[in-house]
Amino acid sequence: MTYRNALIGIYTFGGCAVSFEEIIDPGETGWMEALSEMTGMDYAGLAEARARLVKSEADANTSAGFRLDPRLEALYEDLRAIKGRYLPPSTQYLRQIGGG
């Protein structure tokens, strides 16, 4: 349920989804761009913080050895589909709060 609620929340209120793998992979920068766009945080500051905090790259295949429930796997793939993107709040939500 948590993944489903997160996905509904992102499409309704706006936001971005960032996986642990993206955070620790130095080649992944899309999440920092999306987070910077969404929050106004400085991209360079995010990159510096990651470089300072991430000590080593974890195994890229962290899910090896177990299988998720197919429903959870489908939700996880939906979240991965919006990787590196900022989704703005829905027009319905903005109309409701008087901002669109």
Most confident of 1-5, 53-57, 88-92: 88-92
Whether residue 17 is contained in a domain is answered as yes
The number of folded domains in the chain is 1
**91: domain range?**
2-58+70-97
In a domain? residue 30: yes
Residue pair 34/86 in contact (Cβ under 8 Å)? The answer is yes
Each residue of 35-55: pLDDT tens digit?
A: 998 899 999 999 999 999 987
Tens of pLDDT, residue by residue over 54-76, are 876 554 445 555 566 788 788 88
CA angle, 8 then 9 then 13, to 5°: 125
Q: Which residues fall within 8 angstroms of residue 6, CB to CB, at 6 or more apart?
A: 17, 79
Q: Read off the pTM.
A: 0.63
